[in-house]
Structure formats: C-alpha cells, structure tokens
Amino acid sequence: MIQDLLDLGLQASTAPEVLEEHAIDRWYAHNMPEVVVFAQSTEDVSATLKYAHAKGIPVTTRGAGVGYVGGAVPLKGGIALSVFQMNQIVDLAPQDGVVVTQPGVITGDLQDAVSELGWYYPPDPASLRECSIGGNIATNAGGPRCLKYGVTKHYVLGLTVVLADGTILNTGGRLHKNKQGFDLTSLFVGSEGMLGVITEATLRLIPHPAHRSMLTATFSDFQTAALAVQTILNSGHHPSALEITDPFTLKAARDYLGQDAFPPGEAHLIIELDGRQAAVEAELPEVSAILQELGALSIERHENNEACEAVWKLRRDFSYSLRATGLTKLNEDIVVPRGKLVELVEFAQELSRESGIPISCFGHAGDGNIHTNLMVADYNVPAIKEKADQALDQLFRWVLANDGAITGEHGVGIAKGKWFREAVGEASFATHLAIKNALDSEGLLNPDKFLG
C-alpha cells in the first residue's frame, strides 16, 4: 500500500517507530496502523481518501494525538492520516473578527498569535500547549473559560472538510451570521473523525478582555463551596471561570506542593473575573462579600495577569499531585446540571467507600462539569480494570439518571463507547447511524468507535 501512496505524491511511512507513535493517544488503547500518511494539504487528504475509498481501507485521522478517549487510535489498522504537519495560520483577519487556520496548529500558539493583535480565541482545554485546533474541533473541546465564553463549537464559523470518498466540502465561512441551509459546520464539530477530515477552519475572534483578576477561597466543606457557586451566579456575576476542588484533591495537592500551598479548608474555589479594569475592580469586593457572608475560611485576591497565571499553575499541578499519590487517574469528564453538584460529590464519596477506590472530584463548577477521577493502582491489570469498570458503570448510570452526560469535554472515543447508546437513547443513536451512513456508507472513517 505504501508504494501506491508514495506514487500519489503523498508523504507516508511504515517505519516501526512511526507506526508505534500513531498506534496510541493518551488513553489505554493500542493498535498499529499499516501505514501513516502525513498530509501537507487539503488535496493530499482528498487523494488519500479517494485511494482508501476505492480500496476499502480504513482511515483514522489524527491531530496531535493527545486525546483522552482513544479517538485517534486506528482500531482497524489501515491508514493513520496525520494532519499535524498542516500547521499554518492562513489568515489572521481582525477586520472580519476571524482567523483562518489549518488543523495542525497548536491551540495555544493560535491563541498567542491572535492575542498579540489584541484579539481573543477563548476555548482553553488544559492540553492547549499540546493539542491541535483540528482535534479541538473534532472533539468540541472546552475548558474553564467556557463558563463565560462557550466551548469550541461557539467559535467555528466555517470548515473545509474532506468527505470519505475524497470530495472537498466547504461549509460556512467568515460570516458571523449565515443562515443558508442546514448548519453543516456544526455537524462536523464533535464528530470525532467519523464524518470527514477537517483541513481548514475559520474561527470567530472576540476582542481580548483588557484585564483579569481572581479571588480564591477555602471553605470548611464542599457543600458551602458549591453554594457559593450558585450564589455568585444568582447575584448577577458572570465569572470567566469558577473552579471547585474537593477534600481528596486538596489533600493530594498539599502533600505534593507543600502544606501551605493552600490556606486551611476542605474545599477550594477559584473565581476569575475579566473585562475593563475599572469594572473588574468594582466587582471584586462584591464577590468577596458573598464569599465572606457564606463563611469562607480564607479569601485571597490575585489582581493581575501574572498573579492569575500563578493560581492556574497551582490548579494545573493537581494532575501531578494526583499522580504523585502513586495511583493511576481514570479521568471522567462527566457533566451534571449545576444544581446537582453536591449530590454528585456525595455520590462519588459513597461510591468510593463501597468500591474501595479513592475518587477525586474537581473542575468546572460553573458548568457542572466536574472531573471525577477514579484513582486505581494499575488499569492494565485485569482484576483492577474489572473492579474499576464496575465502579464506572455505577457512576455513569447515576449521571444519566440525574440528567447528566458521560462526557463534557474529551468525547466518546473508545473509552466511553460502551455507554454511548444508553446515554443518547435509541432515536438519537439511529440518527447518528443514518448520518454516518449518508456520509461514509462504507464505514471507513475512524471505524469501530462508538457507532461500531
């Protein structure tokens, strides 16, 4: 097969170390592709898919390969199609409030480039220094700022997508309003490489907030911190981020970062505010007063960019702190209606007691998107995996029974495939299949994932 691909003028490799690199992402699945194609252009992608379509060869698209659900793992072998070398910003156009980009651009690099011109691309997955814009679009990635600014889908105005048979499709464009026909652009956002390959994206930009500041607070219990989340929002404040942390995670962070890394307390809250400086400075004492009234044990102000970044660094260190416990983190990015935050954490504590598996809960409280991490000894050991999977079954069942979703950020991929059908229901599952069949009748794009 490689010779055919080279004859088409494509860059391709079957070197063992290249195949190995493209057999995994950041989850636990592993399967080797037969060949890796490194696309340099939309035309390369089209030529690859035309060839694969004619020969009936499976194709799995890959961006940076830092997905958390096995989405980029080529479960049926065939071609691993990397678009990571398509990494140019094509047009940065503040006059239209857009940036046009190839899919392989690293999200953080794109944000830096637009903010140098005073513009803002807000979606902020924690992996933003590693992941690609194409991967973000294909998984509809999000992060802490999504409370105020929305997730990736709210910024995608237009796409160039290569369909399974090699057809090049353009959807939307640089218009902020466009009501011509079905919203085809949205169809591909979150489609996890199963409907087409994104080769160019036009993304909406907004003016960069002039100033940011932060309050951090500790509380004697998680319940009061969750009440603070509700009270802040109910009082008309719209923070750019509202992050909550449970006692287990705080303890791990203190053990790893030092006991005085956080003031005393069993729950921690981050409240970030942004906007014009005078507005932010006026708002800080109002939010602080709410925290005080609710009995916060400590309240700290962080009044500029550097101070805010220092807090985010601590927050990002939670992952390392949990790793330092010696356990493996099964990171479940579940979502519940915001009003059920406390019930979720109480359920997680109960599940932990029952199963004997420690569970750490922290994350985007404003969105109800709490990363619920089962901390297991080694997920690759069958007996441990079986027990962890049973606990996950219980967790997901509870989430679905409480109007939640099994994933709010990472996507379904392989990791959550088992629960997908139950999560969306029969009518939705059948609609997914109908769309998949209409666009990829041979089932060649990213096969054996959650649609089978």
Question: Under the rule (CB under 6 A), what is the footprint of ligand FAD?
Answer: 25-26, 60-68, 71-72, 83, 103, 125-127, 131-132, 134-136, 138-139, 141-143, 192-193, 197-198, 409-411, 446
Tokens 């069949």 belong to 437
Cα-Cα end-to-end distance for the chain? 25
| Lookup: tokens for 244 | 């909550």
Is the Cβ of residue 65 or residue 78 nearer to ligand FAD in the bound state?
A: 65
The radius of gyration of the chain's CA atoms, rounded to the nearest angstrom, is: 22
Closest to 186 (Cα-Cα) out of 150, 142, 154: 154
Q: How far is the CB of 131 from ligand FAD (least distance, A)?
A: 4
Q: How far is the CB of 283 from ligand FAD (least distance, A)?
A: 26
Tokens 């857009």 belong to 98
Is the Cβ of residue 265 or residue 368 nearer to ligand FAD in the bound state?
A: 368
Is the Cβ of residue 138 or residue 226 nearer to ligand FAD in the bound state?
A: 138
Long-range contact list for 84-89, CB < 8 A, 24+ apart? 84/38, 84/132, 85/11, 85/38, 85/39, 85/40, 86/39, 86/40, 86/41, 86/134, 86/199, 87/132, 89/113
Q: How far is the CB of 223 from ligand FAD (least distance, A)?
A: 25
Is the Cβ of residue 46 or residue 61 nearer to ligand FAD in the bound state?
A: 61
Q: How far is the CB of 232 from ligand FAD (least distance, A)?
A: 22
- Enumerate residues 6+ apart whose C-beta is below 8 A from 359: 248, 348, 349, 351, 352, 372, 373, 374, 375
Is the Cβ of residue 13 or residue 61 nearer to ligand FAD in the bound state?
A: 61
- What are the phi and psi torsion angles at 35 (to 5°)? -155, 150
| Lookup: tokens for 396 | 């997901």
Q: How far is the CB of 244 from ligand FAD (least distance, A)?
A: 15
Is the Cβ of residue 227 or residue 314 nearer to ligand FAD in the bound state?
A: 314
Q: CA-CA distance, 9 to 66, in Å (whole number)?
A: 28
Q: How far is the CB of 84 from ligand FAD (least distance, A)?
A: 8
Residue nearest to ligand FAD (CB): 135
Q: How far is the CB of 169 from ligand FAD (least distance, A)?
A: 12
CA dihedral angle for residue 94, residue 98, residue 103, residue 106, rounded to 10 degrees: 50
Is the Cβ of residue 224 or residue 321 nearer to ligand FAD in the bound state?
A: 321
CA distances from 192 to 252, 327, 448 (A): 33, 29, 12
Is the Cβ of residue 225 or residue 322 nearer to ligand FAD in the bound state?
A: 322
| Lookup: tokens for 382 | 């069958």
Q: How far is the CB of 339 from ligand FAD (least distance, A)?
A: 23
